[in-house]
Amino acid sequence: MQAQVQVNNVSKVFKGSGGDVVALKNINLEIPAGQFVCLLGPSGCGKSTLLNAIGGFSLATEGDVKVDNKLITEPGPDRGMVFQEYALFPWMTVAENITFGLRIKKSDPAQIQKTLDALLKTLKLTEFRDRFPKDLSGGMRQRVAIARVLALDPPIMLMDEPFGALDALTRRSLQDELLKIWEESKKTVIFVTHSMEESIYLADRIVVMTYRPGTIKKDIMVTIPHPRDPSSPEFNKLKADISRLVMEEQERFQKVQISGSTGD
């Protein structure tokens, strides 16, 4: 069977005054529909660049991305993007933010209302529906951002460190809500994080990336059943394995830096 998302030999070079940065090199990745994939790696290893190539926000300099066998050249309704910073419209209420895309599409008002009510309930936002983003906590704003993407019901959710700015408790509750939504909706989720623990808590599959140029260091399937207990031996065993891989990368990068070449 054809994978839903196909990343074929993708490389990305950023041209700059200080020289070129090879952000991605020869990335090959096939993601079947419904999988929850985490892209894991230290800051600067090309996670966002890869996600943006899949989202169609910034295209690869070599290779291509296909979704359902269709070449990606721009963003589209099949791929919803949630960013780390809360990209909400400050002049719109929670309800208006969530329904924005549906109103643009001129969906049936009764249907919009129904979708809104369901999303407010799922993301525990019902009592905040008439508030403006500035009057919400970070966690609430990120709930709105997720609801706004879910309103359009994209089969693929692209999430770039969406919980990175949240405190630990809020982060855990949003992770649990996301898992619930994923289990019920059967969406494909491609989730960027630099947190090993977050990736093991969430993903079916963890793609560990190397540092400059970004390549795939290891592709790991996680079979621990949900809900996962971060204090369990199996969780910690996996964390130790992944930690070793990430440390290896960090050491390699430090050596490259000391010898005067960044490998760019």
Q: For residue 49, state whether it binds ligand ADP (rule: CB under 6 A).
A: yes
Nearer to ligand ADP, 39 or 157 (CB): 39
Residue 202 CB, shortest distance to ligand ADP, in Å, is 17
Q: For residue 175, state whether it binds Mg ion (rule: CB under 5 A).
A: no
Q: How far apart are CA 140 and CA 124, in angstroms?
A: 9
Q: How far apart are CA 89 and CA 131, in angstroms?
A: 12
Q: For residue 44, state whether it binds ligand ADP (rule: CB under 6 A).
A: yes
Q: For residue 115, state whether it binds Mg ion (rule: CB under 5 A).
A: no
Backbone φ, ψ for residue 40 (5° rounding) = -120, 135
- Site for ligand ADP (CB under 6 A): which residue of 11, 48, 97, 210? 48
- Site for ligand ADP (CB under 6 A): which residue of 16, 18, 225, 260? 16
Nearer to ligand ADP, 17 or 69 (CB): 17
Q: How far apart are CA 192 and CA 100, in angstroms?
A: 25
Q: Output the 3-class SS for 44-102.
A: CCCHHHHHHHHHCCCCCCEEEEEECCEECCCCCCCEEEECCCCCCCCCCCHHHHHHHHH
Nearest-CB residue to Mg ion? 48
Residue 48 CB, shortest distance to Mg ion, in Å, is 3
- Site for Mg ion (CB under 5 A): which residue of 11, 48, 52, 122? 48
Nearer to ligand ADP, 11 or 49 (CB): 49
Contact partners, residue 77, CB within 8 Å, separation at least 6 = 152, 154
Q: For residue 52, state whether it binds Mg ion (rule: CB under 5 A).
A: no
Dihedral Cα 239, 37, 9, 156, nearest 10 deg: -160
Residues at the interface with ligand ADP (CB under 6 A)? 14, 16, 21, 23, 41, 43-49
